[in-house]
Structure 1
Amino acid sequence: MNLVVLTGRIGAQPEIRTLNSGDKVANFSLATEERWRDRQSGEKKSRTTWHRVVTYAPGTVKFLEEYVDKGDLIQVVGMLRNEAWEDAQGQKRQATKIAVTGAGHRVEKLASPRDETAQGETAPEPDLDDEIPF
């Protein structure tokens, strides 16, 4: 079974292209973060890994186009796809992408407390002076 589940933040606006057939494809980068504590020093450490994601699924492309922005926290369910090609200089190249194309694959936008604070906004203070009617 080839199934990948990643939760992370969108690195840039998804790139939406229209193919010659009229179908659309979406590509975007997703940053995932791994956190741990160093056993010797006790210091907290983290590492960010970037993933390339591609989808041809019309509903998912439309969702990305209309509702997903740079910095959004999302979950991706897809499969690993390895691609190989030769570039213009004749060099062999390869890349691994996450493909969101099959049944059960999806891109889901998640709620995040960081969403408001990332833009400098804070939630309004609750009004504690309201009268309680009983």
Structure 2
Amino acid sequence: MAGSVNKVILVGNLGRDPEVRSFPSGGKVCNLRIATSETWRDKQSGERREKTEWHSVAIFSEPLVRIAEQYLKKGSKVYLEGQLETRKWQDQSGADRYTTEVVLRPYRGEMTLLDGRGDGGSGGGGGSAGGYDEGGAGGGYGGASGGGGGGRSDLDDEIPF
């Protein structure tokens, strides 16, 4: 196989509100902490176990930063597609440090809100943005495809096979 693949897909919950910072050049970055959990039953004790992993996410795509800033909050469920990157930085004492994080760059990242719009809404879809839709028009979702607004009654529960 020629080439390689660096793609990360996460579905999880925010551990804290998004942190948005501005660069002197005018760009923005949004940092998220995403929790993903898996559960299983211990074979020896029969006890239910859970393990949570915390992921650092950096969003550099301006439309996705706007969506995260406006609609995400602690506890929000979100789908993210990005790539794994390790960066080097220096701490206050001048020592080299390394951080590995999931990065969503312009035209190479995707984010879908899974909670629906608004505070505590229990709707179907939410909003999404990413891929090649990012360069589009303004508006509430920054050129993103809209999400489902309605409640559970709008869903078709029948299995198609």
Which residue type is aligned with residue 99 of structure 1?
Answer: V
- Following superposition of structure 1 onto structure 2, how do residues 9-88 of structure 1 map, counting pairs within 5 Å? 9-88=13-92
RMSD (CA atoms): 1.9
Which structure's residues are more often strand, by fraction?
Answer: 1
- Following superposition of structure 1 onto structure 2, how do residues 119-134 of structure 1 map, counting pairs within 5 Å? none
Matched position secondary structure for 1:62: helix
Q: Which structure is richer in relative contact order (CA contacts within 8 A, separation 6 or more)?
A: 1
| Aligned-pair CA distance for 1:37 | 1.2
Q: Aligned residues, how many?
A: 115
**Aligned counterparts of 1:104 and 1:17: Cα–Cα separation in 2:** 20
TM-score of the aligned structures, taking structure 1 as reference length: 0.78
TM-score of the aligned structures, taking structure 2 as reference length: 0.66
Aligned match for 1:100, one of 77, 95, 104: 104
Matched position secondary structure for 1:53: strand
Aligned match for 1:6, one of 10, 15, 18: 10
Unaligned runs of 5+ in 2: 123-161
Identity %, equivalent residues: 35
| Aligned-pair CA distance for 1:5 | 0.5
Which residue type is aligned with residue 29 of structure 1?
Answer: R
Unaligned runs of 5+ in 1: 118-134
What's 1:120 paired with? none
